[in-house]
Amino acid sequence: MDSHHLQKHRRAEGTPRKRRIPLFAMLLAAVSVVLQVSPASAHSELSSSNPADGARLAAVPADLVLTFNQNISPQYANVVLTPANGSPVELRAKVDGPRVSAARPTVAAQAASTRWTLAYRVVSADGHPIAGKIGFTVRAPAATATPEITPPSETSPGMSPSSFAEPQSPTSGPSDESSSGGVGMMVAIAVVAAAILGIPVLLLRRRGVRR
């Protein structure tokens, strides 16, 4: 093999190696760009909430909490609570990293059964705006009737109304006995008088018979 063919053969073997180096460098650069861009372009969204969307509760929670998958900017956190057929109430939001919380307003604590909507509009730390809403229903327990308290009666315990019946007429006392005794005495005198007067009459009748 002459020198011309040897140089040509070496040139052919070295060409693929030179081509592989730029291709690998381009691939590495593309991967690094993707790794740098993906965190910034990740979608910011709501991860969980209290109450949950569609929840049925006995009362509005004392603390309304929204948790996102990224930190939230404290300067741009707006939360509004609205009852069905009612006016919206803007809440004072407190931001702690990805957690946004707000205290229950007084109107929600005193409201009866109704449906509520919790709307939010926040901005993540990387500047991505997040807006949405959750709905939940409050069904307050039915009010139980308050038992009526019967006032105590004026009568003493254990005493029936018959205890307060009109007193019976008093029994005959010594005066009645003396009066009945006087009547008997008069009857006895009348009998004796009749007997005394009847004896002469009887004697006169007997004498007349004998004649």
Asked if residue 126 lies in contact with residue 40, where contact means CB atoms within 8 angstroms, the answer is: yes
pLDDT in tens, 10-56: 555 555 555 555 666 666 666 564 455 444 456 789 999 999 999 99
- 3-class state of residue 54 by DSSP: coil
Q: How confident is the model over 140-174, as pLDDT tens digits?
A: 776 665 666 666 665 555 555 555 555 555 555 55
User: What are the boundaries of each domain within the chain?
Assistant: 46-138
Tell which residue, 125, 128, 123, 72, has the closest CA to residue 100.
72
**Topology of 46-138 in CATH?**
Immunoglobulin-like (2.60.40)
